[in-house]
Amino acid sequence: MRLPGTLLVVALFLGSAGPAVTNAQRPSTATAQDDGDFAKFVKQATTKPEFLSPLVDHLPKKAGVPTPKDILGYHIGTEKKLTYVADQQRYFRALEKALPGRVKTEVIGKTEEGRDIMAVFVTSEANLKNLETNRQNMRKIADPRGLTDAQVQQLVAGTKPHYHISAGLHSGETNPPESVIELAYRLAVSEEPYIRQIRDNVIVSIMGATDVDGRDRYVDWYYAYKTEEQYDGGENYGGPPYWGKYVFHDNNRDINYGVDSLRAHLNWYLHWVPPIWHDVHEAQTLLYTFSGQPPQNANLDPILYTELPFFATYEVNKLTSYGMPGVWHFGFVDMWSPGYLGFAAANHNGMLRMYEVFNQGGANTKKARLQGGQTTRQWYRPNPAPVGEVDWSIRNSINYAQTGLLTALELTSKFPQMVVENYYQKSANAVKRGGDQPPYAFVIPAGQRDQTQVDRVANLLRRQAIEVHRATAEIKIKEDTFAAGSYVVKLNQPYGPLAKTLLEKQNYPDASLTTYDDSAWTMGMANNIDVRTIEDKSILDAAATLLKEDVTTLGGLTDPNGAIGAGSATYIVQHNGALNLITLRYRLKDSAITAAKAAFKIGDREFPAGSLLIPASDRARREIESLGLMGMAVQQLPAGVESFDVDLPRIAIYTTWANTEKVGWVRLAFDRWEIPFDLIHKDHVQAGANLVSKYDVIVMPHQTANGKSIVYEQPKLSKPLPYKKNDTFKSLGLYAETDDVRGGMGLAGAAEFQKFVEAGGVLVTMGVASAFPAEFGIAKGVEAQNPAPGFYAPGPYVQSEILMPAHPVMYGYHQKTLPIRFNGGPLLQAGPPPGFEQFVGSSPERPQIIARFTGGEAGVLSGLMRNPDQIRNRPMVVDAPAGKGRVILFANNPIYRWQTFGEHGMLFNSLMFWNDMTGAASSKPTTTGGQQ
């Protein structure tokens, strides 16, 4: 149903009579009761009058309620002052203690380093008293199935909109966590009519530091180095090499919420289901407000695409009326990718809002140069930023951010019922669309080779509150017949559009448009499992039960001949692609485990090459079962089964200091799959390092831009910048330490890698890191090239072809072709150039192409790739022997964020079978241009 009388957008902009606050330009409402010291401060701290607004040029005072300065010792936006999270939270608790009827704090979880993640609610006394009832009502609105029209009307009329604001997701963006401290105070104490209206009509929640660990680490770095940065340029000391434990900027790209602290934010959102989530960021714009430009995800409700410009245009209107230049919308971030943290709101029928406010990387006033598009007048930028140099203080940024947020909250308070009703309508539309329009469901068939991957997808869907059913009987529909146990994701549910977004092929809407992040994320392809699209409506009536909890894959051993009881048995664990095989090997590190060189059968059951042969024990059986692995107990192996020892390697992961983030995803995966490793960097690979005495395998994840940047990293253009533990700055020095993050391994370090390989070590490179052994002669016969102009590939899924299925890297991959996320390069060439094959012959160091990209338009499986012929027949995985060792080069990135689980197995095989690759079947080389 659609409630009448809420189409108020036109009335608003035509100046219709409404709630108490008018739309006219508001003069300052400062009074004699305000904080006089703050009024002087803000005028001095703001570098030009036009960078201040009448909403924030004063600060109200209330007896018995501490201002931020009363607790912190300084006004928010003071030169060279940034606030640690513990102090921010201390202030929020003090505010709660002083105004318990208006303010409530809530710890929503812990970070990886054990710090509290805190939300603070600010609203009226009546709303706070009714907070839990309002939450329960909002959850009913979010899932309106079964509600009558009368119940909907009652809920919409009686439920306050919940507006959630998050700050500090990106730790180098220093203003937002400061802004929201003062914002919380203003909202709690001000008696200005528009703020009273906000308190009465809106429940505001604030996440003061979304990445708590990263915020503290950046503040430590700022106080250690950046306070010395000069006003007029000169040396810039950047930021710390780590924010959170694992990821950096990608904490806003964790589409599957693999990082625990990010999952805490998702869980909090799903508990409270606020209709609006406003994420405040910084860039080089004075204030950009997100309005949802193309390309747009068509699975999201059309209502959303009216709400976003409605809010954004109002903000541009109001801040422009205050004389603040450089406020605009459109022309920046698009609505295609669902993977941003705050996109949890849009994905769940709410509204993601976002700001980008000017960033100067700290709290020093600096000379900023404004240039580019933000200084040009456009229909969406009526009052552009001034061209040229301008003094910019952190207080300027705080003024912009707070003025925008107060304006957005004011608009919400004017039309609270519209916000709630739109939320209901989008949720109701989602249910209806899933029952009226194909596709009606997705089915993940039972009986796939690796049930752990299948169950992981079901659990990842459930993580985002998508309903997943399990078939209780065979399902016969137009598309196929599916066995009992198949998973059915019906789309006639509130989060059906999200399920469709995640599971379907991404058909990019306009190849002429670029996108802000990935163009594809199709879950079946990312996990290398079969997912079927169902257009037969009868699937909605299929016999299936709703999963009430996450699925635990139950492994087990068949024992057809009673081998377990007979003693001295062998457990054969199938290598069917399960990633937990490597976990099993490490859990049984003291066992003498071997692996089958080739596939073999026992009766009707096939055991692929790489299947593990494990001495029987109760412990081994328990681990096999707990890890969801499948196998058989036998008294003796069939005749002719050849095997090799599965030796555990000593592993290091190599990281640059300039780009730790992509390495962080690999560290996360290794930690989750219990793969021990040392994290090494430039200091560990200097002349005389003798790496082979310490490690058998060194993994070099995707990082930086090319091989040269891996070797040389950051130029030494400033003073030394240590990243080390110390008693003053306790967040520094975690995960790795160095006396100077600048510089790189240099040619001496590259030579140590070459010695490592030639002495018997295995170097495994991923993505751009594969340019390093190619460019520096470590992988002989391999070249790394950049795509030609006109090539554009923002993370599509493409087809690859396995050329060497018997190679240990490909154990567990049974199909001839694989979906692979294209990493953007490099484009590899392996083998001699055309016409030179006769001079190479069968050299033992001739590189072998294990798998290649098929290329062409037909090879683009999901998402966008322009000029796909450039990757035709280009090597994807290369085995390059060198001396006693070898280099395994992946042109793809087998561990991309928390997504490409279907590619992890290639990397894990490279670790498990590191010294078992000699003599693998050869393949034909690929020459320049990708032709055979």
Residues 311 and 457 in one domain: no
CA-to-CA distance for 188 and 60, rounded, in angstroms? 10
Q: What is the CATH number of the domain that holds 914?
A: 3.40.50
DSSP element (H, E) containing 444? strand 441-444
Residues 779 and 638 in one domain: no
DSSP element (H, E) containing 697? strand 697-700
Residue 238 covered by a domain: no
Check if the beta carbon of residue 911 is closer than 8 Å to that of residue 582: yes
- Residue 349, number of CB atoms within 10 A of its CB: 29
CA-to-CA distance for 140 and 146, rounded, in angstroms? 10
Predicted confidence at residue 564, as pLDDT, reads 84
Does residue 340 sit in helix, strand or coil? coil
- Percent of the chain predicted with pLDDT > 70: 95
Residues 691 and 756 in one domain: yes
What band does 932 get if pLDDT is binned at 50, 70 and 90?
Answer: very low
The pair of structure tokens assigned to 114 is 């054990």
Residue 227 covered by a domain: no
The pair of structure tokens assigned to 27 is 């003069």
CA atoms 558, 562, 565, 569: torsion sign: negative
Check if the beta carbon of residue 898 is closer than 8 Å to that of residue 685: no
What band does 3 get if pLDDT is binned at 50, 70 and 90?
Answer: low
Predicted confidence at residue 834, as pLDDT, reads 57
CA-to-CA distance for 611 and 811, rounded, in angstroms? 9
Residues 511 and 581 in one domain: no
CA-to-CA distance for 257 and 267, rounded, in angstroms? 10
Q: Of the residues 525, 546, 567, which one is the last residue of a structural domain?
A: 546
Residue 248 covered by a domain: no
Residue 535 has pLDDT above 80, yes or no: yes
pLDDT, tens only, 495-513: 999 999 999 999 999 999 9
Residues 206 and 276 in one domain: yes
Check if the beta carbon of residue 616 is closer than 8 Å to that of residue 571: yes
CA-to-CA distance for 513 and 100, rounded, in angstroms? 50
Q: Which residue type, as a one-letter code, is found at position 697?
A: V
Residue 315 covered by a domain: yes
Burial class (CB in 10 A: 0-12, 13-18, 19+), 348: buried
Residue 811 covered by a domain: no
Strands (E), 371-516: 388-392, 441-444, 469-471, 475-476, 481-482, 487-490
Residues 457 and 526 in one domain: yes
In whole angstroms, what separates CA 179 from the centre of its chain?
25
Residue 182 has pLDDT above 50, yes or no: yes
Residues 115 and 137 in one domain: yes
Does residue 282 sit in helix, strand or coil? strand
Residue 498 lies in domain: 438-546
Residue 404, φ and ψ in degrees, nearest 5: -60, -45
CA-to-CA distance for 88 and 144, rounded, in angstroms? 38
Q: Whole-model pTM above 0.75?
A: yes
pLDDT, tens only, 844-886: 789 999 999 999 999 999 999 999 999 999 999 999 999 999 9
Domain count, the chain: 4
| Cα distance from N-terminal residue to C-terminal residue, the chain | 61
Residue 642 has pLDDT above 80, yes or no: yes
Residue 497 covered by a domain: yes
Check if the beta carbon of residue 222 is closer than 8 Å to that of residue 171: no
Residues 630 and 658 in one domain: no
Residue 337 covered by a domain: yes
CA-to-CA distance for 140 and 599, rounded, in angstroms? 54
Residues 733 and 839 in one domain: yes
Residues 777 and 915 in one domain: yes
Q: What is the CATH number of the domain that holds 317?
A: 3.40.630.10
Residues 634 and 755 in one domain: no
pLDDT, tens only, 305-351: 999 999 999 999 999 999 999 999 998 999 999 999 999 999 999 99
The pair of structure tokens assigned to 415 is 């039309």
The pair of structure tokens assigned to 238 is 């950047």
The pair of structure tokens assigned to 56 is 């924030």
Residue 31 covered by a domain: no
Q: Of the residues 605, 628, 645, which one is the last residue of a structural domain?
A: 645
Closest CA to 452 of 555, 525, 328: 555
Closest CA to 623 of 576, 573, 672: 573
Check if the beta carbon of residue 645 is closer than 8 Å to that of residue 594: yes
How far lies 158's CA from each of 135, 199, 277, 456, in Å?
12, 15, 21, 40
Check if the beta carbon of residue 535 is closer than 8 Å to that of residue 439: yes
Residues 661 and 689 in one domain: yes
Q: What is the dihedral of CA 436, 439, 441, 445, to 10 degrees?
A: 160
Predicted confidence at residue 842, as pLDDT, reads 61
Check if the beta carbon of residue 170 is closer than 8 Å to that of residue 251: yes
Does residue 693 sit in helix, strand or coil? helix
Q: Of the residues 611, 645, 679, which one is the last residue of a structural domain?
A: 645
The pair of structure tokens assigned to 743 is 């510089």
pLDDT, tens only, 705-727: 999 999 999 988 789 999 999 99
Total number of residues shown for the chain: 932
Check if the beta carbon of residue 623 is closer than 8 Å to that of residue 651: no
**What residues contact residue 150 under an 8 Å CB cut-off, 6+ apart?**
none
CA-to-CA distance for 880 and 359, rounded, in angstroms? 45
633: alpha, beta or left, given left = phi > 0 and alpha = psi -120 to 50?
beta
Predicted confidence at residue 838, as pLDDT, reads 53
